[in-house]
Amino acid sequence: MAIRSLLGLIFVCTATSLLAAQHTTFRFSIGLDEVDTVEFDESRVSADDLKHWMKFTENGYYSSAGISLSGCDENAEARMLKDLQHARQIKAELNQEFGYPSELSPVVNYLKQLLRFNIWLGQQYITFAETRSAPASAYDETNFPECRVIAERIAHEPDAQQQCEQLANAWTQCILKSEYRRMGPYPKARWKAFLDANGIRESVSSTTNE
């Protein structure tokens, strides 16, 4: 009788636990052809908190602001200035973020570094489009001598189109590789540990396969 009562108690507790769980799935668009699918339990995490936290994911809102070199004419300059203004706005929003869990601090600090670098990179593109001045080869008090050679080559190139192509390809690839090596990758382990601790499952898929 005691054993039967105990089994009944275990069953009731388990059933109550299952009923209390509120499994929810959100889908967030990433770029042009990817979707971030997030599964969570609303009895543990609110939908508002989940939406807020997902801004910090690797390819989320705060990592999406970048300025690409879309040409070196006046029209390209106008487009890049618009992108730069957008990136600065997102950076300002990130700097005002205080309501996130402390476990996300390494992620937030990384995203701040990334945004600051992306804005600096965009400024190099816009300065070139405005003045045809060669880009810098130092960022955040760090010199990149391997990129300085390319910048000097751009400065002495008489053909404007060749200058633009060297800036878009050789210099950009060099500066990205050098800075990302210095800054390191997105802290995926810290992000996953945070998700796991809150019972959140995240998966990224391509919409081209749907």
pLDDT tens digits along 134-155: 999 889 878 899 999 999 999 9
Global pTM? Answer: 0.84
The three-point CA angle 58-60-64 to 5° equals: 100
Residue 170 burial (C-beta neighbours within 10 Å; 0-12, 13-18, 19+)? middle
Question: In which band, very low, low, confident or very high, does the pLDDT at 70 lie, cut at 50, 70 and 90?
Answer: confident
* Mean pLDDT computed over 191-202: 95
Residues pairing with 203 in the sheet? 37
Distance CA 58, CA 77 (A): 28
pLDDT of residue 17: 41
Cα Rg of the chain (Å, integer): 24
Q: Is the pLDDT of residue 2 over 60?
A: no
Residues pairing with 37 in the sheet? 27, 203
Q: Is the pLDDT of residue 69 over 90?
A: no
Distance CA 140, CA 117 (A): 9
* Mean pLDDT computed over 57-83: 87
* Residues above pLDDT 90, as percent of the chain: 60
**pLDDT: which is higher, 50 or 70:** 50
* Mean pLDDT computed over 182-206: 93
- Lowest-confidence pick of 5-9, 24-28, 148-152: 5-9
Q: Is the pLDDT of residue 12 over 50?
A: no
Domain definitions of the chain by residue range: 52-200
pLDDT of residue 21: 65
144: which 2 tokens? 């990149």
Question: In which band, very low, low, confident or very high, does the pLDDT at 16 lie, cut at 50, 70 and 90?
Answer: very low
Question: In which band, very low, low, confident or very high, does the pLDDT at 13 lie, cut at 50, 70 and 90?
Answer: very low
Q: What are phi and psi of 155, to 5 degrees?
A: -60, -30
Strand order in the sheet with 23-30: 23-30, 34-41, 201-206
Q: Is the pLDDT of residue 8 over 80?
A: no
